[in-house]
Copies of this chain bind each other. A is one copy, B any other.
Amino acid sequence: MSDAEGDIEALIRLMARLPGFGPRSARRAVLHLLRKRDGLMAPLGEMMSHVAETVHDCPVCGNVTLAETCAICADPARAGREICVVEDVAALWAMERGGSFGGRYHVLGGVLSALDAIGPEELGIPKLLERVRGEGVSEVILALNATVDGQTTAHYIAEALDGSGVRVTSLAQGVPIGGELDYLDDGTISAALRARRAF
């Protein structure tokens, strides 16, 4: 036992696994929590356990939710319009922060990768095609990261939708080469959405 008791050390080790944290900053965070046991540590622990227990993927779109379906899929005002295809929940949140998209999402949970044996089934692409037919969607916006795998996946989906009569577009202006949506500012995302072009 170097500098704390067993469970406190275990807590520091768990905190050190958070992005942006190392052993030193995790120790500092735990010291802060120990000072704010009732005001921060207890409610944070409780909320974390509650979310971990309750959260699941929305069965419609793949977004994270604590309800049966996510708030976006549950909102009738967002139905029957565009479906925006994103790689992950981080990209979905980034799109929502942009604040200019009024449709629904389809979260792939990754991109096509022969190396990692991730094919169309793993990404729920057949389900996306089903949704496009079933929900009376007019447009599919491919908001995938501007990486090689992201663009390969976008091409695959565009081809799969060919002949379905639905408009396929992609984010255009403003997404830098190699850039990831989650790192862009909100204005850039809004501009890229407004300037979307036929894929």
| A residues neighboring B (CB under 8 Å) | 1-8, 10-11, 14-15, 17-21, 25, 27-29, 31-34, 37-38, 40-55, 64-67, 70-71, 89-90, 93-94, 96-97, 99, 182
Contacts and interface: CB of A to CB of B under 8 A. Distances in A.
Contacts of A20: 20-21, 25, 28-29
Contacts of A15: 44
Interface of A is mostly: helix
A132 to B, nearest CB: 25
Contacts of A33: 18, 48, 51-52
Given A41-B52, A93-B31, A47 B10 contact: yes
23 contacts: A4-B93, A5-B64, A5-B66, A5-B71, A7-B54, A8-B51, A8-B66, A11-B51, A18-B32, A20-B20, A20-B21, A21-B29, A33-B51, A34-B51, A34-B64, A41-B48, A41-B51, A42-B52, A45-B45, A45-B48, A45-B51, A46-B49, A49-B49
Task: Give the number of copies in the complex.
Answer: 2
A170 to B, nearest CB: 22
A93 B43 CA distance: 25
Given A14-B47, A42-B52, 18 more contacts: A3-B93, A3-B94, A4-B64, A7-B47, A10-B47, A11-B51, A14-B40, A15-B44, A20-B20, A20-B25, A28-B90, A31-B90, A34-B89, A37-B52, A41-B51, A45-B48, A46-B49, A49-B49
Contacts of A65: 5
B43 A3 contact: no
Nearest to A96: B3
